[in-house]
Structure 1
Amino acid sequence: MMPFNLITELPQNHSEQTSGPTTSYNRTTDAFDEFVRCLTLFTCLCGALGNGIVLWLLTFHIKRTPFSFYVLSLAASDFTYLFLEVIWVINYLIYRPMFQNIVNLLTNMGLHVTFTVGLGLLASISTQRCLSILFPIWYRNHHPKRGPMVVCGLLWILSLLLNLPKVYYCVVKVEILPPSGCDTMSKLSGALMLSMLILMTLSSLILFIRILWSARKYKPKKLVILILLTVFVFLLCAVPHGINHSVFNWSAMYNHTFHEISYFLSCVNSSANPFIYFFIGSLRHQRLKEPLRVVLQRALRDDSDPSEDRGTSTRTDTTLDTPA
């Protein structure tokens, strides 16, 4: 589904010059592509709506905390990713050649940047939660209050610096930069994503082991379950997209079916987070007409943050039931 990937265009061009079994195969491939991309479009629209609700609630209706700032940035990243994917799929389905180049440029740059930011945010969230559980006293006394804002800002800046030149010179203006320059930028971007993936996986594994170890004595906190579910969905749905983009897309191992499915799964990953938040927030609460802002705030409650004592949080939940 990557716009500038010439490999995906080969079946269509090839079908114009051949007939017989090859034509039948290309028709099947085209039908499969249209089905997957229509499914992708529906998923992206639902996910964009969910992330938009999260953005609206966290911006205007819920008091911001260090952890909720991570979630706000992640929702913004996912919303941007899904919005750009919607633009690309619509442009593919209706096919307007006059907009093809600008749509390809925007979607390529945006998808690279937002994917890297989303991975970095999940690595930061899982690492912070792991430190708060392993070293609770140190975390309460030494973690910086503005740490999430600094981390989120650095992730966006670093992702822009690494991905925008790579997409522009290695995809759009291939003839300008020598292959060695593209290889260097690709290796830097790949090393950054691999390091964040390893960090996220290790910290999440530690959290999971800690939950299993203490499950008999204590009920796991909703926030930890939320993080583990989010990371699990990312590993299941987004990692195939990263593998396809980093390895299969540029080698003889390219597989068209895996290419299309990996992009659909990446959209599932960006769409799933809001549903995870509201599912976790509604656990053990049977009130059907409860406001979404109450459910979301309950899911994101950070018991390890000294500024969020349980008494304050409980009072906030009750007061949020009244109209704003």
Structure 2
Amino acid sequence: MEIAEDYEYQMDYNYTDDSNYTLTESSVFHHQSTCLKEVLCVSLLVVSVVIFLLGFFGNGLVIWISGFKMKKTVNTTWYLSLAISDFVFCVFLPFSITNMAMEEWIFGRFMCKFAPSIMFLNMFSSIFLLVVISIDRCVSVVFPVWAQNHRTVQKASVVVCMSWLFAIGLSVPSVIFRDVGTHLSRTSCYNNYTQSKHGHMIIAWSRFLAGFIVPFIIIIICYSIIIIKLRTNRMTKNNKPFKVMSALVAAFFICWLPYHVFVLLEVNHQNYDHAILTAGLKVGTCMAAANSFLNPVLYVFMGNDFKRKFKSSMLSKMENAMGEEGRTTSRYLSRSSSMDNRASTHI
């Protein structure tokens, strides 16, 4: 049976040996002690459980508020889509938690292919939505009159669907290369790149570029344009429409950067220490998962000042955080529209 070299690593990536070989008694990678005897594994297990609980209930709360309790607007459409992406990821997180604790995959080949791909669906859908929101903010500031006349919930829903379809397409390689193998009565779910010589490198770099670098460049360009425009109009103090969005973008990149770094290092794993790469991939994957529960937390604590948040209920805080952005943006669009109308009258 042809398998990847690091048969023990249970998260997303395994070390890939370009020279295929047959797994025998002498070539089995000698794994360390069980998870419950390792400090790192136990710590990551506890953190993963906390991430699941906070992410599941937090995003569920955001979905309920933005989907059923608030008026449907372009802004609530963006945040509802982000919450759904994180919620779906959290739903499948128990599969990884169980696999981590047991150090064995017990859910069959279909779930081995499907469950891990949800992580990449979450990564791509989240970053694509953040890019869409950044472009939306930029257009709203640069072309306020056009945005006020053309920003509709229907168009936002179409853009969200396109982002999800694109994210699904980029998540397909995870389904293709994921496989199940059994040795010494132990079943593992791993990435089998032995049938594609450069598959590991191509996938790692494509995910890094499409899911990190290119979106980062687009977002930076959009925010640079926004800052220049606001300074030109002497409206730099009016930064409320961008506080939540800035925090979401920062949280995404901070959480996902370690993961991408170690994934790229793993492409040339023979040049690095095995233990460091394994630990780095596990920690990086856990940090990436943490992004799924940070978003609802940011919705709460980035909306109003501390005293108002402290006095209001949790539901009110989340609603204010999401609703405030839409109200402030609307006021800015209305003000800009009036200024443009006065200018055209004078001309």
- TM-score of the pair, normalised by structure 2: 0.72
Following superposition, the deviation at residue 207 of structure 1 comes to 4.3
Instruction: Tell me: CA distance 1:145–1:248, structure 2 relative to 1, closer, same or farther (3 Å).
Output: same
Question: How far apart are the structure 2 equivalents of 1:140 and 1:154?
Answer: 22
Identity rate, percent: 20
* Residue 96 of structure 1: how far off its partner (Å): 5.5
Matched residues, number: 296
Further displaced range: 52-61 or 68-77 = 52-61
Q: CA deviation at 1:224?
A: 0.8
Query: Which runs of structure 2 are paired with 1:140-159 in the superposition (5 Å)?
Result: 140-159=148-167
Q: 2:89 aligns with which of 74, 78, 81?
A: 81
Among residues 170, 189, 195, which one is paired with 2:214 in the alignment? 195
Alignment of 1:138 with 2:154, yes or no, is: no
For the Cα contact (< 8 Å) 2:113–2:176, is it kept in 1? no
Which residue does the alignment assign to 1:170?
177
C-alpha displacement at 1:53, in angstroms? 0.7
**Residues 266-305 of structure 1 correspond to what in structure 2 (within 5 A)?**
266-283=288-305, 285-286=307-308, 288=310, 290-301=312-323, 302=326, 303-305=328-330
Once residues 270 and 214 of structure 1 are traced to their aligned partners in structure 2, the CA distance between those partners, rounded to angstroms, is: 36
- Structure 1: stretches of 5+ with no match in the other structure: 17-22, 311-324
Q: Equivalent of 2:30, from 14, 21, 32? A: 14
Q: Distance in 2 between matches of 1:72 and 1:290?
A: 22
Work out the CA distance in 2 between the residues paired with 1:222 and 1:228. 10
Partners of 1:295 and 1:185 lie apart in 2 by: 40
CA contact (8 A) 1:130 1:203 kept: yes
Between the aligned partners of 1:297 and 1:215, the Cα distance in structure 2 is 29
Partner SS for 2:38: helix
Q: Distance in 1 between matches of 2:10 and 2:104?
A: 17
Of 187-196 and 228-237, more deviation after overlay is shown by: 187-196
- 1:228 alignment partner in structure 2: 246
Match in the other structure for 2:184: none
How far residue 5 of structure 1 moved from its aligned partner, in angstroms, is 3.0
CA distance in 1, matches of 2:12, 2:316: 43
What TM-score, normalized by structure 1, do the two folds share?
0.76
Per-residue deviation at 1:115?
0.8
Instruction: Report the secondary structure of 1:64's partner residue.
Output: coil
Given residue 175 of structure 2, which amino acid in structure 1 is its aligned partner?
Y
How far apart are 1:177 and its partner, in Å?
5.7
Counterparts of 1:297 and 1:269 in 2: how far apart (Å)? 20
Is the CA contact (8 Å cut-off) linking 1:2 and 1:108 kept in structure 2? no
The alpha carbon displacement at 1:222 in A equals 2.5
Q: 1:258 and 2:280 equivalent?
A: yes
AA aligned opposite 1:270: S
The one-letter amino acid of 1:99's match is F
Counterpart CA distance in 2 for 1:204 and 1:294 is 29
**Alpha-carbon distance, 1:55 to partner:** 0.8
Question: Residues 234 and 109 (structure 1 numbering): CA distance in 2 closer, same or farther, change over 3 Å?
Answer: same
The structure having more radius of gyration, on CA atoms, is 2
Secondary structure of 2:139's aligned partner: helix
Cα distance, 1:62 vs structure 2: 1.1
Which of the residues 245, 248, 253 maps onto 2:265? 248
Structure 2 portions without partners, runs of 5+: 1-8, 17-27, 180-190, 336-347
Instruction: Return the offset for 1:234.
Output: 1.3
